[in-house]
Structure 1
């Protein structure tokens, strides 16, 4: 157990999506270190199995959040085994590496990026399917199992892109802005049933997704006046705060964790 942080997750049953890497993996490890039994879910079977093996009480689940029926099955499996779900952290999400390349090429050439006119339907739908539809599937499944017990906490991982709406990244910005609004609307409904829903909105964070960001684009995010890229562990700490007892008065909050790049 993490001795610096006394556990109030002892005995809790938690499900973390996107747990195969990045923020999701960091959340799964921290929840487990503070006493939770963690169901780690990810579309990458090998990655999530490796993370689950690290956890004292960890279970791996292969899950594509874009598949509604599979999401329902995953939540049902947790309830079948334990009768309840106490904590959900929804960290699964995707970016668009090709669009990032187009933006980086424009930066290097010192010209405005042109992305929207080139953006195909499948690229748009892929991002929306995972980031927005997936958030709906997960929130719906969570309420189906948590509301009858009138207990539970949910944290969704959004993005500061919903606010700064980076030029040339319309589908990602839209998907995250939609996920924020979705989470806030659900939060207002869910609290009447004893379920708290909140969102952490990270800025640039050192994850596998960030590692795929072209160098020119990474440099564009650099600013000596603010903190460098966050670590996945730092964002995980915000998620655990929102999921924990110290945040009992937070409902429908979107906590912007971007190191001081801007505020809203």
Structure 2
């Protein structure tokens, strides 16, 4: 029987490309997005997530792969709602279906922004506080201006990969054979970045903040290929890992962590 994969944010960009790639590899793919996918769902809304799971369960007793890809970049609390809460809530809701698979896999689309300067207090609030506290904090950052507001995005990505590493070795995941990993793209050519990369000034700003010495901005297919591997049966032993598919940003100094991530990690929190 073919493996079944559910891809969130499947309507465009990396999610659409990943869904098409998995389909070409023989998967039965269930696409989820706000509008126009196999299942329409708003991942900010727990009731909508429940309805998504109910819709999947009408035709499937299990799923083999979950690509938690849906994401936004708005420098507002919406980033927290979709990139963090939407990801972990949908993964958690689909966990029973994954646990019934013989070879279950989860891959999250994070971001190289998880390495950028961010607000450590917001990250901690996401991981340990209430949703209301985190969204209130994020709203204050947005009100403080564009630079501070960007902390919503970078914190959402830092927090979701931290959560992923925390749960990877638990009974709910490792104990049921579920490998969970993340891909962290750098600058990618998607509808989200199209306008930014269309001008010389925009491209200089993008690569000034996130250099990509290897081939510049990535095509969505480059990210989709890594996501497809992570949710495949070929990924038999890797879990809790963040793969920076970023054209070399992570290796950069001073923007990334540089060459030595063992003895002299950079302190990136503001």
* TM-score, with structure 2 as normaliser: 0.74
User: SS of the residue aligned with 1:207?
Assistant: coil
User: SS of the residue aligned with 2:58?
Assistant: helix
Q: Which residue of 1 aligns with 2:135?
A: none
Offset at 1:178? 0.6
The alignment yields a C-alpha RMSD, in angstroms, of 2.0
Equivalent residues in 2 for 1:105-116, closer than 5 Å: none
> Which of 26, 35, 47 is the equivalent residue of 1:35?
26
Q: Which residue of 2 aligns with 1:44?
A: 35
Aligned pairs, how many?
216
Equivalent residues in 2 for 1:170-189, closer than 5 Å: 170-189=151-170
Per-residue CA deviations over 1:40-87 (Å, capped at 9, x if unaligned) read: 111132xx3xxxxxxxxxxx1111111112212212322330211111
Is the aligned partner of 1:219 residue 2:204? yes
Equivalent residues in 2 for 1:203-214, closer than 5 Å: 203-213=186-196
Offset at 1:145? 2.0
Offset at 1:221? 2.8
Q: 230-239 or 79-88, which moves further after superposition?
A: 79-88
Maintained 8 Å contact 1:227/1:260: no
Separation (CA, whole Å) in 2 of partners of 1:231 and 1:260: 15
Unaligned runs of 5+ in 1: 1-9, 49-59, 100-122
Q: Which residue of 1 aligns with 2:49?
A: 71
Separation (CA, whole Å) in 2 of partners of 1:82 and 1:224: 41
Q: Which residue of 2 aligns with 1:231?
A: 219
Offset at 1:186? 2.1
Per-residue CA deviations over 1:167-203 (Å, capped at 9, x if unaligned) read: 9221100010011111222222211111111100000
User: SS of the residue aligned with 2:167?
Assistant: helix
Offset at 1:152? 1.2
Q: Which residue of 2 aligns with 1:18?
A: 9
Separation (CA, whole Å) in 2 of partners of 1:224 and 1:253: 21
User: SS of the residue aligned with 1:227?
Assistant: coil
Q: Which residue of 1 aligns with 2:239?
A: 251
Per-residue CA deviations over 1:87-109 (Å, capped at 9, x if unaligned) read: 1101100111xx5xxxxxxxxxx
Maintained 8 Å contact 1:15/1:89: yes
Maintained 8 Å contact 2:196/2:206: no
Q: Which residue of 1 aligns with 2:82?
A: 130
Offset at 1:149? 4.8
Separation (CA, whole Å) in 1 of partners of 2:228 and 2:65: 10
